[in-house]
Amino acid sequence: MTLCYYARMTPSRAQDSLPTMVLIVLSACFFLVMAVSLMMGPLLVDLADEFDTSLAVAGQFASANFIGWAIIAPLVGPISDSYGRRPIALTGLGLITLGLMVSAVSVNYEMMFAFRIVTGLGSGMLPPNSGGVVADLVPPRNRGKYFGRLIGTGIIGAALGAPAAAVLVQMGGWQGSFFAFGILAAVVWILAWKWYPGTRSRSSDSISLIGRYKQVTSKPTLWFLFSTNVAQRMVYFAMFSYLAAYLTEEYGLSTEETVLPLVLVGIGAIAGAFAGGIVAG
């Protein structure tokens, strides 16, 4: 819904295309957010053993990320419109890095759960904020192209996050997976520090949070699109979060052996995204 709003905004710095490094940084943010959000699946069995709990309870670590996301995402647009995109991006990436690094040294269930929420708070800041950057720099006729590229990069991140975590857990345990993703987040933070633009919305385009969502939700067609997207996301995230654990519990696969099924699902997700773009185009 945030992207629907940004698709209509007047750019604050008119240009036909995004600078290459800006596009790379925004894409890296989308990739990171989706990879981090779906990294938990292959780790759940090990985490359940580590914290002496059931697989179902350990699965709440995956939910914790989205709790943080749901809290912060609706608030990011108006805040970044007023204070600028760059501070929000750096804060979000910093929270992701902090959440991942501290998760790696968690000593109990509560500590892990809390810092998965922190990771989710950071993750929820980046997609709407990056959509705002596109709206600030690119005229409306070209925005769809860039929104599509960013979403496509996010899909690739989602497809690769779980298989990467499954590989990393073989090398350094579940702690190693968190550390590796934390290092990736720190690298993206450095890129953002150098190239994330310090744009903000024009004052005439900045409206209140309530006003923004009244504007978007007044269109009945968007409710059908929104409901469909919610249903698809529920199934997609649930499947990716629990597939590895299901294969381990029901069929006795090791974490290493779940890599291939996760890769195949990821390939299907990427192929579906490209096929959808062709059909829609």
Interval 220-250: pLDDT, tens: 777 787 788 788 778 877 887 788 888 888 8
Cβ count near 58 (within 10 Å): 23
Residue 204 vs residues 68, 92, 243: alpha-carbon distances, Å: 30, 26, 47
Q: Over pLDDT 90: what percentage of the chain?
A: 38
User: Who has greater pLDDT, 21 or 70?
Assistant: 21
| Model pLDDT, residue 7 | 46
Q: How distant, in Å, are the alpha carbons of 4, 151, 227 from that of 144?
A: 10, 10, 21
Query: Between the CA of residue 124 and those of 2, 15, 37, 67, what are the distances in Å?
Result: 12, 27, 10, 10
Q: Is 269:237 a contact under the CB 8 Å cutoff?
A: no
Q: Is 17 left (phi over 0), alpha (psi -120 to 50) or beta?
A: beta
Residue 4 lies in a domain: no
Gap between the terminal Cα atoms of the chain: 21
CATH number for the domain harbouring residue 178: 1.20.1250.20
Better-predicted residue by pLDDT, 248 or 209: 248
Residue 151 lies in a domain: yes
With respect to residue 246, please indicate whether it lies within any of the assigned structural domains: yes
Q: Write down the pLDDT at residue 1.
A: 46
Q: Please check whether residue 212 is in contact with residue 3, taking contact to mean a CB–CB distance below 8 angstroms.
A: no
The structural domain count of the chain equals 1
pLDDT of res. 55: 85
CA distance 33 to 130: 12
The answer to whether residue 196 is domain-embedded is: yes
Give the tens place of pLDDT for each residue, 254-275: 888 888 888 888 888 778 777 7
* Mean predicted confidence (pLDDT) in 21-25: 95
Q: Give the model's confidence band at 217: pLDDT under 50 very low, under 70 low, under 90 confident, else very high.
A: low
Q: Taking the CA atoms of 202, 205, 207 and 212 in sequence, report the sign of the dihedral they define.
A: negative
pLDDT at position 249 = 83
Residue 198 domain-assigned (yes or no): yes
Residue 3 lies in a domain: no
CA 153/CA 54 separation, integer angstroms: 34
Q: Is the pTM of this model over 0.95?
A: no
Q: How confident is the model at residue 204 (pLDDT cuts 50, 70, 90)?
A: very low
pLDDT (tens digit per residue) in 155-177: 899 888 989 998 998 889 999 99
Q: Would you place residue 11 in the very low, low, confident or very high pLDDT band (cuts 50, 70, 90)?
A: very low
Mean pLDDT in residue range 203-224:
64
What range does the domain containing 250 cover? 9-280
Greater confidence (9 vs 232) lies with 232
Closest by CA to 41, choosing from 164, 152, 125, is 164
Q: Is residue 1 included in any domain, yes or no?
A: no
The secondary structure of 115-166 as a DSSP string is: HHHHHHHHHHHHHHHHHHHHHHHS-HHHHHHHHHHHHHHHHHHHHHHHHHHH
- Taking the C-alpha atoms of residue 183 and residue 23, their distance in angstroms, rounded to an integer, is 21
Using one digit for the tens of pLDDT, what is the confidence trace for 64-123? 998 998 889 888 878 888 888 999 999 999 999 999 999 999 999 999 999 999 999 999
